[in-house]
Amino acid sequence: MQTKNSFPTRRNFIQTSALAGASAVIARGLVYGKSSDKIRVGLIGCGGRGTGAGIIDCAQSSPGVELVAMGDLFQDHMDSAPDLIKSNLQERGLPVNEIYKVTPETTFTGFDAYQKVIACDVDMVILTTPPNFRPLHLEAAVKAGKHVFLEKPVAVDPAGIRSVLASSELAEQKGLTLVAGTQLRRLDSMRQAMEKIHNGSLGDIVGGQVVRTGGGMRDWRTDEKDKRTGWSEMEYQIRRWLFWTWLSGDFIAEMHVHNLDIMNWAMGAHPVQCVGMGGRQARTEPEFGNIYDHFTVEYQYPDDVRIEYMGSQIDKSSYRQDTRVVGTKGNAYLDSGNAVIKGENPWQYEGEQENPAVLEYKEMIEAIRSGNPINEGRQIAESTMTAILGRMSAYTGRTIKWDWAMNASELDYMPEDLNFGDVPDMPVAVPGVTELI
């Protein structure tokens, strides 16, 4: 079994990316063969997101998409992936035989499966592995000159964020397209509302609110809820990655990054500091790892603008998912389908919405084919870091400044060795006890 030290790590990437960027810049016209109408795709991560949304949304978005390689850590996930992908393609009325081109020779498992997918003849890769692996996989894909669709969140700690930023810079040097899975940014209602906000419809922004509350995700992968004979602790936790901070970043990062991303977009900035609190009161069983089930964070943006975030994953709690932006001339209400501005410049969205999960791939493939790259690396790295900052504050009880976390924090959740063995003890964080690293 290979360990993390057997292949490039995110820790040495920053040291080598400058040399790689200088020696391996790819001319835009060579990134995608304009004589070809095919986009050859590699899928890295064949769980529910990869097989049920990722490659399916990609194939629906544009003609000429071919899935030619895929990889996953687990053999049983890989065994079920072909039938899942084919049936999901059929459900959308897509031509399976024209899209599904994977062979046994281009199917890979293990910790190094991502390297083997990237080494195949692919134009782009879709990264849908647990978030802690995404900086490492992004690094490898960009160095190999591949366009990347990068699911959110893109990291779980400051070390990972710094790696993603370095990879994003290298992708820009190489003329590669890097698109993030921030679907809400593709909603036409959101785009029109943001244009009005940035053009001054609200006046100066003085405050805001982000709320997302809902169920406890107790039905997620129930077939892997209990540790089976033969599974090491590492294997069990990766299979249950949603509920372990070192793998998911906690739910504030794994899911609510969507909503914090919208606030960063409205503000045109990331926060400068935050103070948060949270806990684990309702979802306490061992199968739910070590993450919290509720957070609240006050984010301070430039010019002393304060934004309040509340989030929870607790069964039978009231469902909400909305953002409010308050300005000197009015306020905006934004959710996943509506956008309303009240005040001196009233407006309400009344158009039709295109599926944002499909649109993000459509815009990516158009960028690849036209040779006009999109790079959303810094944007999603900063939004992910916004969530991480709130979690770090809630876990420790400390007010945390953005610049300190980005430049001085040594928090790095990646285990020293990646193999199917034991993992370090990872207790539930306790404010005032858990140290700020």
**Tokens encoding 154:** 């893109």
Over residues 165-216, the pLDDT tens digits come to 999 999 999 999 999 999 999 999 999 999 999 999 999 999 999 999 999 9
Confidence (pLDDT) at 371: 96
Q: Is it true that the peptide bond before 286 is cis, omega within 30 degrees of 0? A: no
pLDDT band at 424 (very low <50, low <70, confident <90, very high): confident
Q: Is the pLDDT of residue 151 over 90?
A: yes
DSSP string, 179-194: EE--GGGG-HHHHHHH
- As a whole number of angstroms, the distance between CA 38 and CA 43 comes to 16
Q: Is the pLDDT of residue 17 over 70?
A: no
Q: What is the mean pLDDT of the chain?
A: 92
Q: Is the pLDDT of residue 299 over 90?
A: yes
- As a whole number of angstroms, the distance between CA 376 and CA 134 comes to 15
Q: How far from 129 is each of 16, 218, 360, CA to CA, in Å?
A: 24, 20, 18
Q: Which residues pair with 69 in a beta bridge?
A: 42
Q: How many CB atoms lie within 10 A of CB 212?
A: 22
297 and 390 in contact (C-beta within 8 Å)?
yes
Over residues 124-141, the pLDDT tens digits come to 999 999 999 999 999 999
320 and 211 in contact (C-beta within 8 Å)?
yes
Residues 6+ apart with CB under 8 A from 19: none
Confidence (pLDDT) at 30: 36
Higher pLDDT, 1 or 234: 234
Domains in the chain, CATH or no CATH each? 4-184+360-375 (3.40.50.720), 188-351+384-407 (3.30.360.10)
pTM value is 0.91
* CA 215 from centre of chain: 20
- As a whole number of angstroms, the distance between CA 437 and CA 435 comes to 6
Confidence (pLDDT) at 36: 57
- As a whole number of angstroms, the distance between CA 256 and CA 258 comes to 5
Q: Is the pLDDT of residue 103 over 90?
A: yes
**Tokens encoding 415:** 């285990």
282 and 262 in contact (C-beta within 8 Å)?
no
End-to-end alpha carbon distance in the chain: 31
Q: Where is mean pLDDT largest: 23-27, 218-222, 333-337, 383-387?
A: 383-387
pLDDT band at 416 (very low <50, low <70, confident <90, very high): confident
Q: Is the pLDDT of residue 5 over 70?
A: no
Alpha helix positions (H), 96-187: 96-99, 113-119, 134-143, 158-174
Confidence (pLDDT) at 418: 86
Residue type, 303: D
- As a whole number of angstroms, the distance between CA 308 and CA 132 comes to 27
Q: Is the pLDDT of residue 434 over 80?
A: yes
Q: Is the pLDDT of residue 148 over 60?
A: yes
